[in-house]
Amino acid sequence: MKNEFFKFSSRRILFSTVMASALLAGSPQTVFAEVNELQSVMQAGTVKGQVVDAAGEPVIGATVQVKGTTNGTITDFDGNFILNNVPEKGILVISYIGYKAQEVNISGKTSIKVVVKEDTEVLDEVVVVGYGAQKKASLTSSISQIKGDEAFKNKGIANATVALQGEVPGLTITRTSTRPGSEGAEMKIRGDISVNGKSSPLVIIDGITGSLDELNAMDASDIENISVLKDASAAIYGARSASGVVLVTTKRGKKGKAQISYSGSVSRTINGIQPPITNNQEWLDMFYEAQYNDAAALNPNLTTADEIHKAVNWWIFNSFGGPTLDQSDIDPATGAPTVYKGETLFNALRAGKVLTLQNGDKVERWDPNVYMMDYLYGQATSQKHSISISGADEKFSYRASLGYADNNSQLKVANDGEKKYSGRLNADYQATDALKFETSMSYDKRDIITPTTDVGAGYFDPWFWTVYNQNGQAYDTFSGNRNPIGGLTQGGEKKNSLTTFRGSAKATYDFSKWVKGLSISASGAYKTVQRNMQEVKNKVQYYDWVGTQTGNKQGPGQLKEEIEKWENITLGAFANYNRTFADVHSVSAMLGMTAEQETYKKVGAVRKSGAVYPGSGLTDLDVWVNGNNNEAYGGQNSWGLVSYLGRLNYTYADKYSIEILGRRDGSSKLAKEQRWKNFYSISGFWRLSNENFLKDVSWLSDLKLRYNYGRTGSVEGIDNYERFATIKTGTTIFGINSGTHTSLWVDGMRSADRTWETIDSHDVGVDFAFLSNRLRGSFDYFIKTNNGMFIDVQYPSILGAAAPKSNNGKFRARGWELALNWDDQIGQVKYSIGGSLSDAWSKVLELANNENVPNEGKNENRLIGMPRQALYVYQTDGIFQNADEVAAYYEKYYWNADHSGPKANNILPAPQEAATNTLRPGARKVVDLNGDGAITKDDLYYAGDMAPRLTFGFKLGLEWKGIDFSAFLQGVGKQVLLRNGYLAAPWTTNYVLQNKNFAGKMWSENNRDAEYTIASRDQDFNKWNYNNKDVSVQNNRYVRLKSLVVGYSLPQKWISKAGLSKLRVYFSGDDLWEWTKVKDGYDPEYGENSNNTFPFSRLLTFGVDVTF
């Protein structure tokens, strides 16, 4: 009997455990007052009863509650319950996970029996697919759908792409910042599919082609759901489907009375993890140690520590910006400038003393207590608001909404953030029983404002430079123009405004009166996207301590304005047929045609001679100087795409199903001979759980095997007019008198054979559900092969022009995805646990001429047999301990046989007697991996894949008496990372702040087992020791608490008197915590460059949801 095992074994154990726990926590009388069926005396207003399933078996632990109150109980081992204080005309709500909630009108009854039915909502859920929708249970392909409220509700993150991170298995989202509007977010479905481009998926918003920028500009509260087409089911979108498709559907009116909803929140942004930075004393100690070692290397004649110390003292005083001194100004006993009466400048700063000194015309100021990061970054406040009205009757449905968001970064001294404005109207009208109209209009505007210079430059100056002079002006730090405060406060702003308007209409006529199940529809859509950019670069003036002007940058200033506009028109016509015969034969078919055209235009102008009225704030081109170095530029292009598409699905008895879909695309981007291409998919499922041999397995709710094969396409990397060769003009010197003559030449060759990249995709999957759908999950394994990848072809240089790319490359990606969810209820506590884990890895299979030469660092230059983002570095073998080891190393790997010069292709720094950029004790040894007796690029080795692998997400949710709690963890299990920049290694640039990880851990004669090499301020020497070396590679594994939400919905009896149907308050936190294997202290998602000091942020949000 179905579910019998679980009901009488597992349930009893679970129920007994809960009861035992309750007995330990409280008195037995309290517990059994709710569940003891043996009460013999019925009180007034008491109802007793039993809850059973369709087979007559008792349902243990079901909740029985008086509607609109907190008065309730749970059923016992036999499904019985007793509930007191039930109003005579009360309504009881019986609910249990896996069954449909049921309401029973008491009407004076004292005894009832309730039969609950299994909840098939999970299987009946409708999933949006390409040009249609299907029940989730009927899907033959790997398509994931997430509801908008689940993905975005209560998250303070304004960027919709980032908010999706970790939510969908196989959907990998990366970012390099948390700055609003500047997150650098990228999206991939199942990894890379080519070495060309970013492998970004196609984004469709309400049936109109869109982009990630347009998605991020939307008010996320308008999104009903997002479907991700991950396998060859995306072939229904043809030429742009190779990287998968993301379908965004917005909310529409639902049948019922009009509802007004408001959601508002206020967020506080605070700094997240930041690299450990040396304090003033640590920085000066590291500086002195490095300069001491360099002084010894440069002056081999200095034999004692005291002699080296004096040389360092002299150098430090002058290099820090002190006045020019000669030897008569130095105390011979201490080596210190006499102006400080024997106390060295170094020790004065180290002791925290504030110093002021005249240096020629400039008054210098040292303040060792200044930490630039405290001046730049703090906390910020953001807000979001959205309001909507919706409703529907038998004929008309509508939903209208307005949204506003103001999101600011934690930069304190300049404007940095975004504002978003949105409006949307979706309306449907059932004109007759057969004719229906659907319309949508939306307006989204996203304004992003950033400083034009010095964003993230907080590491550039050490502790001891003051930020402002005594007049509050930007102080000119050492060597001029380095103080980021000057650029941020004076340098101007860059404003990017992206405005999107969409309008669409669709008419559907149902021909069922003549042909049952047949409908025909026609649709049209118009979209315009305009980007307005204005960049103002003002002259930035710096001052010394007393206000004397010193250096400046960006002078005299410039103004740049750009306008870009995209217009897209899409027309479509479709015929749909859905029919079931004899209750077991289900047939659905779709035929359609679409035509799409997009035009693009860009104009821009730059004036570079400064403002007519400096300091006025006027930013029109006509009030900036009309100098001789102005620029004006522009361009335009267009493309078109015509498509014929269809889909046929047949399902028998919900056991077996097969689906065939196809699309034929013709693109204006390609030559006539290659313009048309066919794309297709064939898929099917076998639902084993509906077979007779599994029907009576009590714990099995659903088991379905899936397979999908198909071919998708891509024109990424093909320009709109690439099939046409263009002529360029110039001057050429030739002839007897070597005169110059005007000449014409072809800028590159074109090929009529170049065509689509085509990707063959296989997907094998299984969907399963156990224990009345409480435990659900899926597993997929996929292979994607690009058999026509665009690659560069090598021709002899005598050709005289760049050769076109060809379709001769081959690329493959493999991977798997696992998703699990558990939903259950214990008493009145509903809880859910869910998670996903996925992996994808790529390999280049074929390239022109079998090129396979790695470069240092990330090798997106393509290597056969390697991933697209393969990392190649040099292997090291410890540190040189003495001069003899260095000499032997040079002898073996540097010199050729007769010592006349270095070996061919050698990369070792040349040996020198008195230099800091040569190998010396304390430097790293690079291994001759290929054993050819030389250190060359042939010794590079593969260190790992820089693409994120083993991406995962984990969710926990709880609900109890109006209180809700949810937590979401997200992370990456496998990735290698190679940073570069200021903090990746010691002293990559002079005077910048230093990573504390290096302090006290560098090689010296007294610390020969040190982790890091000898301290040096020679940048070339440090590059040898750290750049592209295995010791700099980091394993980037991390777990992040992506979101945490606690909310409370006020009881209906409290808010109904105010005319409210819902009032919920909540607190949420985003990016609250992380664990990481990254050692340098940066956030694990930061990216490769460590020059940027902008810290990742955490977000604390308080919000309210109200429905009238």
At residue 28, the 3 state secondary structure works out as: helix
- Give dist(CA 962, CA 437) in Å, integer: 39
Give the pLDDT band of residue 734 (cuts 50, 70, 90): low
Give the pLDDT band of residue 4 (cuts 50, 70, 90): very low
For residue 238, give both structure tokens: 């043809």
**pLDDT at 679 > cutoff 60:** yes
**pLDDT at 98 > cutoff 90:** no
Q: Which of 1049, 856, 1050, 1052 is nearest to 940 (CA)?
A: 856
- Give dist(CA 720, CA 430) in Å, integer: 41
Mean of pLDDT values over 300-319: 75
Q: Please report the pLDDT score of residue 8 as a whole number.
A: 41
Q: Please report the pLDDT score of residue 986 as a whole number.
A: 93
- Give dist(CA 644, CA 122) in Å, integer: 33
Q: Which CATH number applies to 122-252?
A: 2.170.130.10
The dihedral through the CA atoms of 664, 683, 652, 4 has a sign that is: negative
At residue 387, the 3 state secondary structure works out as: strand
Q: Please report the pLDDT score of residue 124 as a whole number.
A: 67
Contacts of 12 by beta carbon, 8 Å cutoff, 6+ apart: 60, 77
4-119 with 122-252: one CATH topology?
no
Task: Tell me how far apart the terminal alpha carbons of the chain are, to the nearest angstrom.
Answer: 46
- Give dist(CA 451, CA 449) in Å, integer: 7
Contact 734, 741 (CB under 8 A): yes
Helix ranges restricted to H, 864-925: 883-893
Helix, strand, coil % over all residues of the chain, rounded to 5: 15, 45, 40
Q: Which of 399, 154, 387, 115 is nearest to 258 (CA)?
A: 399
Q: How many residues does the chain have?
A: 1108
What is the domain partition of the chain in residue ranges?
4-119, 122-252, 875-939
Specify which residues 552 forms β-bridges with: 541
Q: Please report the pLDDT score of residue 363 as a whole number.
A: 82
Q: Which of 770, 777, 774 is nearest to 699 (CA)?
A: 770
Q: pLDDT (tens digit, 9 = 90+) per residue, 233-264?
A: 999 999 889 999 999 999 999 888 899 999 99
Contact 376, 244 (CB under 8 A): no
CATH of 4-119, one of 3.40.50.300, 2.60.40.1120, 3.30.930.10, 3.40.50.2000: 2.60.40.1120
Question: What's the DSSP call for residue 414?
Answer: S
For residue 56, give both structure tokens: 């007559």
Question: What's the DSSP call for residue 910?
Answer: P
Q: Please report the pLDDT score of residue 99 as a whole number.
A: 79
Q: Please report the pLDDT score of residue 330 as a whole number.
A: 55
Phi, psi of 602 (to 5 degrees): -140, 135
Q: Please report the pLDDT score of residue 43 as a whole number.
A: 41
Q: What is the dihedral of CA 313, 314, 320, 324, to 10 degrees?
A: 160
At residue 390, the 3 state secondary structure works out as: strand
Q: Which of 439, 575, 440, 591 is nearest to 520 (CA)?
A: 575
Q: What percent of the chain has pLDDT over 70?
A: 89
How buried is 1073 (Cβ within 10 angstroms: 0-12 exposed, 13-18 middle, 19+ buried)? middle
Q: Which of 233, 225, 226 is nearest to 140 (CA)?
A: 233
- Give dist(CA 1057, CA 1078) in Å, integer: 55
Give the pLDDT band of residue 753 (cuts 50, 70, 90): confident
User: CB neighbours (10 Å) of residue 346?
Assistant: 19
Contact 909, 919 (CB under 8 A): yes
Q: pLDDT (tens digit, 9 = 90+) per residue, 329-372?
A: 555 555 555 544 334 567 777 888 887 877 767 788 888 888 88
**pLDDT at 300 > cutoff 70:** yes
Ranges 139-153, 1060-1074, 1079-1093: which has the least confidence:
1079-1093
At residue 1064, the 3 state secondary structure works out as: strand
**pLDDT at 39 > cutoff 80:** no
**pLDDT at 930 > cutoff 50:** yes
Which pairs with CB-CB distance under 8 Å and at least 24 residues apart come from 63-67?
63/93, 63/94, 63/95, 63/96, 63/825, 63/827, 63/828, 64/92, 64/93, 64/94, 65/92, 65/93, 65/95, 65/828, 66/90, 66/91, 66/92, 66/93, 67/91, 67/92, 67/93, 67/103
CA 989 vs. chain centroid, Å, equals: 30
Mean of pLDDT values over 30-59: 62
DSSP 979-1030: -BSTTTSTTSSTT---BGGGTT-B-BTTBTT-SB------HHHHHHHHTTBG
Q: Best-predicted range by mean pLDDT among 62-71, 127-136, 561-570?
A: 561-570
Q: Please report the pLDDT score of residue 339 as a whole number.
A: 45
Give the pLDDT band of residue 805 (cuts 50, 70, 90): confident
Mean of pLDDT values over 278-302: 90
Contacts of 736 by beta carbon, 8 Å cutoff, 6+ apart: none
Contact 482, 454 (CB under 8 A): no
Give the pLDDT band of residue 2 (cuts 50, 70, 90): very low
Task: Please tell me which residue, 10 or 643, carries the higher pLDDT value.
Answer: 643
Q: Which of 118, 115, 112 is nearest to 100 (CA)?
A: 118
Ranges 115-119, 643-647, 695-699: which has the least confidence:
115-119
Mean of pLDDT values over 186-199: 87
Q: Please report the pLDDT score of residue 248 as a whole number.
A: 95
Question: What's the DSSP call for residue 323?
Answer: P
Q: Please report the pLDDT score of residue 483 as a whole number.
A: 87
Q: Please report the pLDDT score of residue 860 as a whole number.
A: 63
Q: pLDDT (tens digit, 9 = 90+) per residue, 516-534?
A: 999 999 999 999 999 999 9
Mean of pLDDT values over 913-936: 95
DSSP 791-827: E-----GGG-SPPPPEEEEEEEEEEEEEEEEEEEEET
Specify which residues 281 forms β-bridges with: none
- Give dist(CA 705, CA 716) in Å, integer: 33
Q: Please report the pLDDT score of residue 561 as a whole number.
A: 96
Contact 1093, 373 (CB under 8 A): yes
Q: Best-predicted range by mean pLDDT among 247-256, 571-580, 860-869?
A: 571-580
Contact 824, 774 (CB under 8 A): yes
Q: Please report the pLDDT score of residue 28 as a whole number.
A: 40
Q: Please report the pLDDT score of residue 31 as a whole number.
A: 37
Contacts of 798 by beta carbon, 8 Å cutoff, 6+ apart: none
Contact 782, 190 (CB under 8 A): yes
Contact 584, 652 (CB under 8 A): yes
Which pairs with CB-CB distance under 8 Å and at least 24 residues apart come from 851-856?
851/794, 853/937, 854/937, 854/940, 854/942, 855/937, 855/940, 856/937, 856/940, 856/1027, 856/1028
At residue 885, the 3 state secondary structure works out as: helix
Mean of pLDDT values over 1045-1049: 95
Q: Please report the pLDDT score of residue 3 as a whole number.
A: 43
Q: pLDDT (tens digit, 9 = 90+) per residue, 484-498?
A: 999 999 999 999 999
DSSP 6-17: IIIIIHHHHHHH
User: CB neighbours (10 Å) of residue 67?
Assistant: 15
Q: Is the peptide bond before 556 cis (omega within 30 degrees of 0)?
A: yes
Q: Please report the pLDDT score of residue 14 as a whole number.
A: 43
**pLDDT at 795 > cutoff 90:** no
Q: Please report the pLDDT score of residue 141 as a whole number.
A: 94
